[in-house]
Amino acid sequence: MRLKRYIYIIGVLLVSIPSFSQSTKQQQLEEQRRRLKEQIEQMRSLLADTKLKQRSVLDEVETLNSQISTRQNLIKITNQQANLLTREINSNLKKMQSYREELKVLKEDYARMIVKSYKSKSQQSKIMFLLSSSDFSQAYKRLQYMKQYNEHRKEQADQIQTRSEELQTLNKNLSQRKKNKQQLVEENREVQDRLNEEKKQQQVLMASIRKKEGTYKKEIKKKQEQASAIDKAIEKLIREAIAKANKKAGKKASKKGSATTFALTPEDKKLADSFTANKGKFPWPVGTGKLTKKYGRQPHPTLPNITINSSGVELETRPGEKARAIFDGEVMAIQKLKGAGRLVHVRHGNYITVYYNLENISVKEGQKLSTKQNIGEVRTNPTTGRAIMKFLIFKDTKKQNPQSWIYKM
């Protein structure tokens, strides 16, 4: 009896493990879908709020491209959820068939036991069965058999009850899963319709851009020159900060009068080592946002025949979103540059993180910061209505790719 019970428990566990795994995966997909829907709603609000504002066609196409990409991801995630539900539905159908067959066997077995018990139900026949034993040992064995037989009857009845309840639960779950799948399919159909509309808008805008490609190339070139000037100002500030820190530490400058690496105190080195050890694990510098421009040389998102270069990454977030420190450190400098708004430099040993296009700065130079501490608000462009923060990482004076350092960027 115990062996049967153990086998039953193991069987339940083997059935439950895949179900638990599927449930966890479904929750992860639902969380991803929720975030994508939030992003789409943010972009929809952004477009609605800026209809009356003068927007560059390039900005409009870039926003539309981002929205199209997000919708495509939403469709992909929703399809994965629907496919997972299909597997759950098929699994439930197989379980239900298995449970029905098992229930049928249990009921037939139980019925035979009841009939047999009925035929020998009189107390006299049980007593005679014991008294007809050849010796005490046989009588004891017969008594044990009768006891085990009654326990088996009870166990069979319990199993029938359990299987009946599990079958009812599976039926309910199956019905709910089918409703959930249908809802996902209908929602995906609506998202696909909106995606098709946005692609038509994209084609119209791209046609207008191609007619004035020369004008837009000049606009892009001007933006690149402005970005290059901002990068030079940032690099100059970092070199000056290194020279100042090294002078304070008693380290002599090079013959050219400029230093390229920090002289680290034991405390600085410990912080820098910790920063290095956390590569790929840092939180995003904004609580919610979307990567709109990657690091390094890349084709322009609207005119792919034009190559652009980015010294960091650009993250679009919702208006009013706070920028936050990705790791413990100290505010090295607060800078103001044309075209970049206000910038905050945070030093982590010989690493520097730079957050720019901020306003309402909530920190000051020399202030110690902890991971995820707010440092200011991402500025919303009054013309485009977009809140975009650029984020850079330096090791001494060498630029780093933030996507290699930030978790899932």
User: Could you identify the residue written with the tokens 């319709």?
Assistant: 193
Amino acid at 209: I
- Pick the closest to residue 332 from 400, 405, 394 (CA basis): 394
Give the pLDDT score at 178.
84
Give the pLDDT score at 143.
61
- Give the C-alpha distances (Å, rounded to integers) separating 143 from 127, 133, 153, 257: 10, 10, 16, 103
Give the pLDDT score at 347.
98
Give the pLDDT score at 335.
96
326 CB contacts (<8 Å, ≥6 apart)? 282, 283, 284, 285, 353, 371, 372, 405, 406
Q: Are 33 and 71 in contact (CB under 8 A)?
A: no
348: helix, strand or coil? strand
| Strand bridging mode 341-348 / 329-337 | antiparallel
Residues of the chain with pLDDT below 50 are 1-10, 12-17, 52, 122-124, 254-257
331: helix, strand or coil? strand
At the second CATH level, the architecture of 213-405 is Distorted Sandwich (2.70)
- Give the C-alpha distances (Å, rounded to integers) separating 32 from 81, 97, 198, 294: 11, 34, 22, 21
Reading the block at residue 373, the tokens are 């501490």
Q: For residues 154 and 156, give the distance between their C-alpha atoms in angstroms, rounded to a whole number.
A: 5
The predicted-structure confidence for 252-290, as pLDDT tens digits, reads as follows: 654 444 578 999 999 999 999 999 999 999 999 999 888
The three-state (H, E, C) secondary structure of 98-132, written as one string: HHHHHHHHHHHHHHHHHHHHHHCCCHHHHHHHHHC
pTM of the model as a whole = 0.65
Q: Domain spanning 2-211: which CATH class is it, in words?
A: mainly alpha
Domains of the chain by residue range:
2-211, 213-405
Reading the block at residue 375, the tokens are 């440092």
User: Could you identify the residue written with the tokens 């029905």?
Assistant: 100
The predicted-structure confidence for 315-346, as pLDDT tens digits, reads as follows: 988 888 999 999 999 999 999 999 899 999 99
Q: For residues 114 and 258, give the distance between their C-alpha atoms in angstroms, rounded to a whole number.
A: 98
Residue 389 exposed, middle or buried by CB count within 10 Å (0-12, 13-18, 19+):
buried
Give the pLDDT score at 95.
76
- Pick the closest to residue 96 from 190, 177, 198, 41 (CA basis): 177
Give the pLDDT score at 6.
47
Give the pLDDT score at 52.
45
135: left (phi over 0), alpha (psi -120 to 50) or beta: beta
Reading the block at residue 303, the tokens are 């005119």
Q: Are 343 and 234 in contact (CB under 8 A)?
A: yes
Give the pLDDT score at 14.
47
% helix, strand, coil for the chain, step of 5: 60, 15, 20
Give the pLDDT score at 268.
95
The predicted-structure confidence for 89-124, as pLDDT tens digits, reads as follows: 787 777 777 767 776 776 776 676 666 655 555 444
Give the pLDDT score at 20.
54
CB-hemisphere CA count at 13 Å for 351? 24
224: helix, strand or coil? helix
